Chains A and B, each alone.
Chain A
């Protein structure tokens, strides 16, 4: 398949306070590919997402988005094109409806609020109709997570970074969400998850080794790749 490369990590490393969290990470993600990134907690998985969004700067290596280096001007473009669901979606306080209005008032998201689509997605993901009137801070972890997923889907973007996006859902819902994302062939998915529901035949699993165990470095940051490329 000849597809455009969307994301490329080239020998990317990260050092916090002289502690190596990540080193020599290589990965290329092409349009439409689905990648499941696995690894122990603390291995720097979330950091890889944050680098792409410009929330962290790699201390080593290079990072490219659509073949251009991710720098301070590029990140603003990436943030308009990529839908990110973080481990704990934090929308703030107040009625969900009001918080959604604010999000869809941002310039790149104008006209993206489609009440019908919202209604259908809420039904698909088993969210009660009155969830929109509730205060976000009063929702359960699972409800918050689904709101995060819902927003990502409403934005109408085609590249997704999902960081443990389904961890608080029950197995049935995990499956529903995973299937929903995976059935869109054109979508590029970069997923961090421990949930088995994501593992399917058209997903490529990338294993990330933890860099430091009890203060000693183990391994050279080599990735074990399963599945076809």
Chain B
């Protein structure tokens, strides 16, 4: 990455320990006012630390090898995780929805990612590990959040307001016509957080990626340029993937009568 090299202070084992000491504060608070978060704090922090160490080691290997097949496999692994997490979080059954969701995630996020690498970053190697993996992770993570809200609200709304949907069908609407108000509503809710994030960037907080780059020694101007482009691709990929996911799951989640299949829901009403 361009920009003047400023040395980033090393984080030693001692620095890590110093940081972990800070956790004494929430633990004391929890103890004093019986917040009962001591166990969950300990397990969350332990999980986070070990997961990140593992990722750190793996990424070192993957970056060193920088083999395009391996990089793609890594990205597909992330896509699979994102799909799994989305469906689990919206409390729908895996079997019927996994395929449409994973295909939607893969197509939309990968195409935005490759476009970014080709036309924005102008990389020689589109599948360069150092860009493909972290940027892919960022857009996937955001797509996931958008989809949990979007898909979750869509299928919940259909179930809660089934009579409204059936009434629209009775008026002669095609399946997609009758579903359009639900699609619109859930897409709007899923995009709201992303839009709020975009419009407050730099005002309320310095976005994480930009902060990381500045810490890494990149000039603020280059860091904000990266941040602008990243926010745009996050928005675009969230819109695309949520739309695709909802539209593609409709094909499997509704029967030939246009009715939602009750068996896709995990919880009975």
Contact = CB atoms under 8 A, between A and B. Distances in A.
A86 B167 contact: yes
Interface of B: 161, 163-164, 166-174, 177, 180-181, 255-259
Contact of B163 (A75, A76, A88, A108): A88
B257 A54 contact: yes
Interface in A23-70: 50, 53-55, 57
Interface stretch (A99-107, A117-125, A171-179, A207-215): A99-107
A220 interface: no
B167 A82 contact: no
A50 B166 CA distance: 9
Question: Top 7 closest A-B pairs, CB basis?
Answer: A72-B256, A108-B172, A84-B170, A90-B164, A80-B172, A54-B257, A106-B173
A151 interface: yes
Interface string A97-140: 00000110111110000000000000000000000000000000
B186 to A, nearest CB: 14
A79 B171 contact: yes
B179 to A, nearest CB: 12
A84 B259 CA distance: 17
A75 B171 contact: no
Contact of B257 (A75, A84, A107, A151): A75
A107 to B, nearest CB: 7
Contacts of B255: 72
Given A54-B258, A72-B256, A72-B257, A106 B177 contact: yes
B189 to A, nearest CB: 14
A91 B174 contact: no
Nearest to A53: B170
A103 B180 CA distance: 11
Interface of A: 50, 53-55, 57, 72-73, 75-76, 79-80, 82, 84, 86, 88-92, 102-103, 105-109, 151, 155
A90 B167 contact: yes
Contacts of A79: 169-173
Nearest to A148: B167
Nearest to A105: B177
A80 B168 CA distance: 11
Given A55-B259, A84-B167, A92 B181 contact: yes
Nearest to B164: A90
B171 A103 contact: yes
A106 B163 contact: no
Contacts of B169: 53-55, 79
A91 B259 CA distance: 18
B252 to A, nearest CB: 16
A86 B256 CA distance: 22
Nearest to A70: B257
Given A54-B258, A102-B181, A107 B167 contact: no
10 contacts: A53-B166, A54-B258, A55-B166, A55-B170, A82-B170, A86-B163, A91-B164, A92-B164, A102-B181, A109-B171
B156 to A, nearest CB: 15
Nearest to B170: A84
Contacts of A55: 166, 169-170, 257, 259
Given A72-B255, A84-B167, 8 more contacts: A50-B166, A54-B257, A55-B257, A55-B259, A72-B257, A84-B171, A86-B170, A106-B168
Given A86-B163, A86-B167, A90-B167, A106 B181 contact: no
